[in-house]
Every structure is written in C-alpha cells, then in structure tokens.
Amino acid sequence: MIKMGMTMVEKIIAAHTEHETVKPGQIVNARVDMILGNDVTTPVAIREFEKTGVDKVFDKDRIAIVPDHFTPNKDIKSAEQVRMIREFARKHGITYYFEVGRMGIEHCLLPEQGLALPGEIIIGADSHTCTYGALNALGTGVGSTDLAAAMATGHLWFRVPETIKFVYNGKLNKWVSGKDLILYTIGDIGVDGALYKAMEFTGEAIESLSMDGRMTMSNMAIEAGGKCGLIAYDEKTEAYLKNRAVREYTPYYSDPDAEYARVIEYDVSKIEPQVAFPHLPENTRPVSEAGGVKIDQAVIGSCTNGRMEDLRIAAEILDGKKIHPDVRCIIFPGTQEIYMEALKEGLIEVFIAAGAAVSTPTCGPCLGGHMGILASGEKAISTTNRNFVGRMGHPESEVYLASPAVAAASAVKGFITHPEEVV
C-alpha cells in the first residue's frame, strides 16, 4: 500500500494524537494547545464545567478568557455575565484573563499576545477562531459544552476534514486587500462551498499579504462553511512571532503529494475591491457594480479588519476629508496596543478631525451588540464578517461588507464607492 502525503491540517491533527497519520473522515481524540472563551459563550461553558464535578481546569496557562462582545458592559445582564467569567478566572487562577482596559477583540488579541502559534490546535467558543489559521494553527470554533469538556480534560474529539486548496496567482491591484480576496472567494464558492473542510490559502498573492491581511482571510473561512483557513508558515509569520510567542512551536507544511478535495485557482489581477450585499457574505459584486448605494453608517474595525494595517488604510483615505453629514462613521481598533499605536501615529487625530467616532476595543455593533446598532431601514457599510438579517440591529436594516478602503471612501461620499473616487 502506497502511503500518501498529508495536508497541513492532517499533520497538525496527527501530531496531537497517538496516530502517525490521519485521513479525512477519521474521528480522533486530540490534545488542544489553547482554549478561548468570551463573555457570551463562557458563562454557558462554566455552568457545564461545574456539572462535571472537576475541581480545577486542566491547565491555567492554556485558557484565555476575553470579555469583548458586550464590554465595556452595556447593561445589567452583560455585567452579570462578565462578573461570572471574572470570578471563574480568579477561582482557577487563569493566567490569560483580559480585563477591560487590557483586553481587545479576542481574535486580534490572541495573536498579538503570542498565544496562537504555528502547528497548534486552538479551539474557541466563537466561530471566528479560524483566524489563527493565518499563523499556521488549526484554529476552529466549538460549542460551549465542548469548551467545558476541553477546559476539564485538555482534549477534544475531531473529525479530520478534507482540504480545499485555493491558489491566488498574480499581483494585487491597488486597493485590493485580503478582505477582497476572501469576499471574492466566498462569492465564487458560496457560504457552504467549503462546509467542514479545511481551506488552504496559497499562491503568490498570499505570500505578498501582510500578517494582518492573512488574518482577515483566515477569519472569514467560516463564512464559506470552512472548518479552518490555513496559511503556510514563512518569514513573515516568523517575524510576527519573534518577540510575541509564549511557547515553542512547530510549523507544518502540506506534502507535495497530499490529496485535496479540490484545487481552485484565481488570477488576482482580475479582482477589484468587493462588496457583499445583504443578506449573505456570498452576495458579492465588484465595487464598480455596487450602484452607489446610499449609506447611513460606516463601521471600520472588528476581528476581521481592526488591525493596524486596516486603520492606516482608513486614515490614508480620511486624512484631510470629512465624513459625509448624513453618515455616522465608527472606528474600532482591535486591541489597546493597536489603539495606542494608532494614537502615536496620529491616526486617531485624523479620524476625529474627519468626524468619525473612535471606540475602545470591542465587538460592538458587529453582532448587534452595542455602540452602533441600526434602526429600521438603515444601511451600513462595514468591515465586519457577516451581514445576515438583523445582524447589526433591526431586521429591516441592511449590512454591506467591504474592506476598510471601501468603507472609508463610502463614509466620505455618503454612498458605496471605489476608493479612487475619494483619494
């Protein structure tokens, strides 16, 4: 019998089990390296954890709890939820509990803190845990009960996924970013096009992307139904982690003879900035075909696009300009560190001078939480990751997904527009 090579995700999973090799469809019990919970999902996990009768977590250094969805607390219920997770963290001596003032949006924060590392299995009770694939980690979302089981045992079962390889050939056009590549991809294959499959992003265009751009792409793998969105470790990954990594790590690469469910290739030189129309991320079209949709709000930030590169692009467009008088523009830096860097670079001054509101790091309106909820009939252009019915507020509001460049340009014009129309 000829032994076939393995993909990245198969190698990572195998390394965390007793198996030398694994294959798609196989059910395995795997060790996890990092466990993540937030203020929405952790309270449920805590209640389930306490039902087990286990008196302590498996490893206080392998759990991160980040209150980022409704914090600073928006109401009594959210305050009670955060108190519950805060007390749990204190009781178990959780090393990585991030309080308001030190916290950030979880999927911006963990990479920044060196807690998501190549070759690791990282689970989070949040679907966008797939962000860590940009760092060559198997990051994936789980339910709160799975989170509880992992906190108790340090292990979790997985079904080994098939892999789809996406090859992005050529050079990106100006104003085209990782956000545009992933929106274009989801528009091509659909929101279930990679259902329970690992998405492997490769090619010249991926190699040219910054780590910020790569994290944006991996973040939205779940929007295509993906189990994870993996990118190979290279010198950019190494440089990013050099003064961050809190543990030793081992990157994994797909073998040349690895088997893929599909291989899909794109010529990125033919891709322009994208906009996903309501009410699915797959409803994409080029910004030139957006038809000048009038907007009421622009949101720049989130775990998808709240990093330094995103803020710099937005500031480049907004510098010396004014937000349209009929538009509310809200900007959410991903972490306190990003906020501070933006402050030092003068970006916050640019935003405020343009008439934008700048918030403390929080998920905010992305999930209809707070600080930017839409009223009936209102339209928002947003750098977030989902535009389902009622996602950002009223069921009769609309969310259009785009890059920071398109969102900032649209905030100035008052309607969805190409950045070239503003700069």
Between residues 395 and 1, the one the model is more confident about: 395
Instruction: Tell me the C-alpha distance between 356 and 351, whole Å.
Output: 5
CA angle (223, 399, 329) in 5-degree steps: 120
Asked whether residue 422 is domain-assigned, the answer is: no
pLDDT greater than 70 at residue 1: no
**pLDDT tens-digit map of 67-93:** 999 989 999 999 999 999 999 999 999
CA distance 365 to 332: 10
pLDDT of residue 101: 92
| Together in a domain, 65 and 126 | yes
Domain membership of residue 423 (yes or no) is no
Burial class (CB in 10 A: 0-12, 13-18, 19+), 376: exposed
d(Cα 151, Cα 89) in Å, to the nearest integer?
12
Q: Hey, how many other C-beta atoms are within 10 angstroms of the C-beta on 53?
A: 7
Does residue 367 surpass a pLDDT of 90? no
365 pLDDT more than 90: no
**Residue 3 within any structural domain of the chain:** no
Q: Which pLDDT does position 369 carry in this prediction?
A: 85
Query: What CATH number does residue 102 fall under?
Result: 3.30.499.10
Q: Of 270, 304, 325, which one is at a domain's C-terminal end? A: 270
Bond prior to 107 in cis (omega within 30° of 0): no
Mean per-residue pLDDT for 272-277?
Answer: 97
> Does residue 3 have a pLDDT over 70?
no
DSSP string, 218-266: HHGGGGGT-SEEEE---HHHHHHHTTT-SS--------TTB--SEEEEE
Q: Kindly give, in sequence order, each residue whose CB lies less than 8 Å from that of residue 308, ignoring residues fewer than 6 positions away.
A: 212, 338, 341, 342
Q: Are residues 147 and 197 in the same domain?
A: no
Are 202 and 264 members of one domain? yes
Find the mean pLDDT for residues 183-204.
Answer: 97
pLDDT at residue 380, rounded to an integer: 97
Are the CB atoms for 149 and 30 separated by under 8 Å? Answer: no
Residue 114 within a domain: yes
- Residue 325: is its pLDDT beyond 90? yes
DSSP string, 374-421: BPTT-EEEESSS---TTTTB-TT-EEEE--HHHHHHHHHHSB---GGG
Q: Is 1 contained in some domain?
A: no
Residue 2, pLDDT > 60, answer no
Q: What is the mean pLDDT of residues 178-198?
A: 97
What per-residue confidence (pLDDT) applies to 216?
Answer: 98
Q: Please report the pLDDT score of residue 6 as a whole number.
A: 95
**pTM across the whole model:** 0.94
* pLDDT band per the 50, 70, 90 thresholds, residue 285: very high
Residue 38: C-alpha distances to residues 63, 99, 218, 231, 372 (Å)? 11, 11, 19, 25, 20
Q: Exposed (0-12), middle (13-18) or buried (19+): which is 377, by Cβ within 10 Å?
A: exposed
* Residue in this structure with the two tokens 């990003």, named with its chain if needed: 338
- Domain boundary (119, 141, 159) is at 159
List of residues 6+ apart from 29 with CB closer than 8 A: 17, 155, 156, 157
Q: What residue numbers bound the domain in which 314 lies?
A: 275-417
Mean pLDDT calculated for residue range 242-259: 96
As for how many domains the chain has, the answer is: 3
Whether the pLDDT of residue 130 is over 60: the answer is: yes
* 368 and 292 co-located in one domain: yes
Given 116, 136, 159, the domain boundary residue is: 159
Which pLDDT score is estimated for 392? 87
> What average pLDDT score do residues 166-189 get?
97
127 conformational bin, left if phi > 0, alpha if psi -120 to 50, beta if neither: alpha
Give the chain's mean pLDDT: 95
Kindly state the percentage of the chain with pLDDT values over 90.
Answer: 94
Query: Could you report how far apart the first and last alpha carbons of the chain are, in Å?
Result: 60
Same-domain check for residues 150 and 171: no
Burial of 170 (0-12, 13-18, 19+ CB in 10 A): middle
Q: How large is the average pLDDT for residues 309-328?
A: 97
**Beta-bridge partners for 65:** 37, 97
Q: Tell me which H or E stretch contains 77.
A: helix 76-91
Residue at 266 is within a domain:
yes
Task: Indicate if the pLDDT at residue 330 is higher than 50.
Answer: yes
Query: pLDDT of 251-268, one tens digit each?
Result: 999 999 999 999 999 999
Residues 63 and 202 placed together within one structural domain of the fold: no
- Specify the DSSP class assigned to residue 195: T
- In a shared domain, residues 280 and 258: no
Q: Are 195 and 282 in contact (CB under 8 A)?
A: no
pLDDT digits (tens, 9 = 90+) for 92-115: 999 999 999 998 999 999 999 999
Per-residue confidence at 131, pLDDT binned at 50, 70, 90? very high
Tell me which residue of 334, 264, 304, 329 sits closest to 180, measured CA to CA: 304
Q: Are residues 324 and 403 in the same domain?
A: yes
Residue 381 belongs to some domain of the structure:
yes
Question: To which residue do tokens 């939820």 refer?
Answer: 81
CATH code of 213's domain: 3.40.1060.10
Residues 84 and 224 in one domain: no
For residues 59 and 80, membership in a common domain is answered with yes
Contact assessment for residue 107 and residue 203, using Cβ atoms and an 8 Å cutoff: no
